[in-house]
A = this chain, B = another copy of it.
Amino acid sequence: MNSLRHLESLQKLPLPTVRALLDRAVDFRRVPRQPLLEGKKLGLVFFNPSLRTRVSFQAAMADLGGQAFALDVGGGLWKIEVEDGKVMDGDAAEHVKEAVKVLSRYVDALGVRAFAEGKDWATDRADPVLAAFLRHSDVPVVNMESGLYHPCQALADMRTIEDKLGAVKGKKVALVWAWHPKPLPLAVPQSFALAASRLGAELTIVAPEGYGLDPAVQTAVENNARASGGSERIVSDRAEGLAGAEVAYVKSWGSLDLYGRPAEEAKHRAGLRHWIFDEAAHRMTAGAIVMHCLPVRRNVVISDPVLDGPRSVVYDQAENRLHVQKAILEWMLAGERQGRP
């Protein structure tokens, strides 16, 4: 890593930069088309599927005067090796080093999405694909969701809370687990918890036993809360955890305790199907705004009346992806401009 403006996790940016990005997003909502990245090219590499991320980055580049090119690895492309020193006589026809080095000769910035593999957390928490991009790229790289982090989503989440409630600081924010038929990645809840605690929220993580965050992330969340003057607690009783909440950030994620053991995890999860965020759950809050990163399984994770109800802000939240990503792209690519974040 060098002096390039990579965005791996918001946690790695100075707080004033995060603040500046959040403010700048408001400018882009007011004036969507600003030719600040005239002629710039962004390469988007997807190891996993995407709708919001793909289109919002393409739209952001178009509005800023540039172009974005999407690449589906494993779709139109061959398999890519990420381990160093490997004798590549198996499936992978290309090493990530060559792919990244070459792409960074063709475009001005790269985005990469590579989820956790779901087998071994020790491996996945190293974010091997993202790490390889950061190591090898000669242009700035933005994380479009890795195993650990989803900084673009977290920035849009913070923007949304500020839009709706005026600030994050001092707000009672519940990150509340929900049941889902599959063990989902932890990137979104982890990035949300990190960002909310950093901006001074009174954060409660409401989740059943066994659904904690990565220990190092959890420690960072606690440190964030201390530094920001906010607070952080973990509660496994839903009614207790949701009491007084002004924000209910609903999200399902898999258990790290049973990571990579789908049969056991499924058995454990089977008893948790009542963790749906429905009207009864919403009544436990203080009329909280309801957030979700989408996609969401209706009537499984959130019930229709809540998702379609007056306190749901999920579409504004998704729209904010566009505005914050413009701020991120400007910061990555037009950083030399004076007076900018």
Instruction: Name A residues whose Cβ lies closer than 8 Å to a Cβ of B.
Output: 33, 39, 41, 43, 46, 49-52, 54-56, 58-59, 62-63, 66-67, 69-72, 75-78, 81, 84-89, 92-95, 98-99, 101-103, 105-107, 181, 294-300, 304, 314-315, 318-319, 322
Contact = CB atoms under 8 A, between A and B. Distances in A.
Nearest to A107: B59
Most buried by B among A70, A81, A95: A95
Nearest to A52: B102
Most buried by B among A105, A304, A319: A105
Interface of chain A: mostly helix, strand, loop or mixed: mixed
A46 B75 CA distance: 12
Most buried by B among A76, A84, A102: A102
B322 A106 contact: yes
B43 A33 contact: no
Contacts of A86: 298-299
B71 A54 contact: yes
Contacts of A70: 76
23 contacts: A41-B63, A50-B77, A51-B99, A52-B102, A52-B106, A58-B69, A59-B69, A62-B67, A67-B67, A78-B295, A81-B298, A84-B304, A86-B298, A87-B298, A88-B298, A94-B294, A94-B295, A98-B296, A98-B315, A101-B315, A102-B294, A105-B318, A106-B322
A299 to B, nearest CB: 4
A300 B87 contact: yes
Most buried by B among A39, A76, A87: A76
A302 B295 CA distance: 43
A39 B51 contact: no
A102 B315 contact: yes
A205 B210 CA distance: 62
Nearest to A78: B49
Contacts of A319: 102, 105-106
